[in-house]
């Protein structure tokens, strides 16, 4: 980012209350000696030491009371609908972007949208396009293992997390480098080998049931009645 002309680089805060489990080793960027330690602290410390950055780690979950409104960009990589809903609630008055990354056994999505606080003309976020993905009632019926469960290697593709991360990284890199994005997201299906973009097109969003908010109509100012006075 410094080479692209961003004088301050990126200020980043990572939230995660999860600890490294044995099944994370090999599937994610962790090693046997990391087991039992907080993921957020490990990742941030390594990046800071390698790149000379000053990122922060918070070993806690984002909840509806988290203050993310001032963030320019929030990236969510969660495996429950309740967590995704909490992120959106923490962005109720946000004016930046929300990039959602989610997956199940061998499919997933990357959706870039505006925070809920943005009004007319905003990109739809994941909750606008897929309301079921922010409905916590669906968590109880979801039998797909998270990437930290013991049977994940048997039930979940070994590379689905990386496949989603590559699409998210490419979208962010394009946005940072050019100041624009060609698509508002991607669908990934490892079974069929297909990656399908989500066009930046209101008609495409309408197929998911989302209508772009229109600007509020400006009321014409009432003309003051002409008056005359005899002096």
Instruction: For residue 159, name the pLDDT band (cuts at 50, 70, 90).
Output: confident
Residue 73 has pLDDT above 90, yes or no: yes
Average pLDDT of every residue of the chain? 84
Q: How far apart are CA 206 and CA 120, in angstroms?
A: 15
Contact between residue 98 and residue 114 where contact means Cβ atoms under 8 Å apart: yes
Question: What is the rounded average pLDDT of the residues 79-94?
Answer: 91
Question: What is the rounded average pLDDT of the residues 162-166?
Answer: 93
Residue 5 has pLDDT above 80, yes or no: no
Determine the 3-state secondary structure of 220 from DSSP.
Answer: coil
Domain boundaries along the sequence of the chain: 1-60, 68-206
201-214 residue pLDDT tens = 999 999 998 988 77
119-152 residue pLDDT tens = 777 899 999 999 999 999 888 776 555 554 455 5
Contact between residue 134 and residue 80 where contact means Cβ atoms under 8 Å apart: no
Determine the 3-state secondary structure of 107 from DSSP.
Answer: strand
Instruction: For residue 226, name the pLDDT band (cuts at 50, 70, 90).
Output: very low
DSSP 74: E
Give residue 153's pLDDT.
Answer: 58
Give the residue with greater pLDDT, 190 vs 216: 190
Query: Top-level CATH class of 68-206?
Result: alpha beta
Interior CA angle at 61 toward 55 and 65, to 5°?
A: 100
Give the residue with greater pLDDT, 229 vs 184: 184
Instruction: For residue 9, name the pLDDT band (cuts at 50, 70, 90).
Output: confident
- Measured in Å, how far apart are the chain's first and last C-alpha atoms? 71
């Amino acid at each position: 980012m410094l080479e692209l002309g961003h004088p301050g680089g990126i200020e980043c805060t990572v939230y995660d209350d999860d600890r490294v489990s044995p099944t994370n080793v090999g599937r994610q960027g962790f090693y046997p000696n990391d087991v039992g330690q907080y993921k957020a602290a490990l990742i941030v410390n390594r990046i800071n030491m390698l790149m000379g950055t000053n990122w922060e780690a918070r070993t806690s979950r984002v909840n509806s009371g988290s203050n993310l409104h001032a963030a320019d960009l929030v990236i969510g990589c969660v495996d429950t609908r309740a967590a995704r809903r909490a992120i959106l609630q923490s962005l109720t008055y946000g004016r930046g972007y929300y990039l959602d990354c989610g997956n199940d056994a061998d499919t997933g999505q990357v959706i870039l949208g505006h925070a809920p606080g943005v009004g007319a003309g905003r990109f739809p976020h994941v909750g606008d396009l897929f309301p079921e993905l922010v409905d916590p009632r669906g968590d109880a019926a979801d039998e797909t293992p998270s990437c930290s469960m013991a049977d994940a290697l048997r039930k979940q593709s070994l590379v689905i997390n990386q496949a989603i991360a590559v699409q998210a990284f490419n979208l962010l890199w394009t946005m940072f480098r050019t100041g624009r994005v060609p698509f508002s997201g991607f669908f990934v299906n490892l079974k069929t080998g297909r990656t399908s973009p989500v066009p930046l097109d209101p008609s495409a969003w309408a197929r998911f049931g989302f209508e772009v908010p229109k600007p509020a109509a400006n009321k014409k100012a009432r003309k003051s009645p002409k008056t005359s006075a005899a002096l």
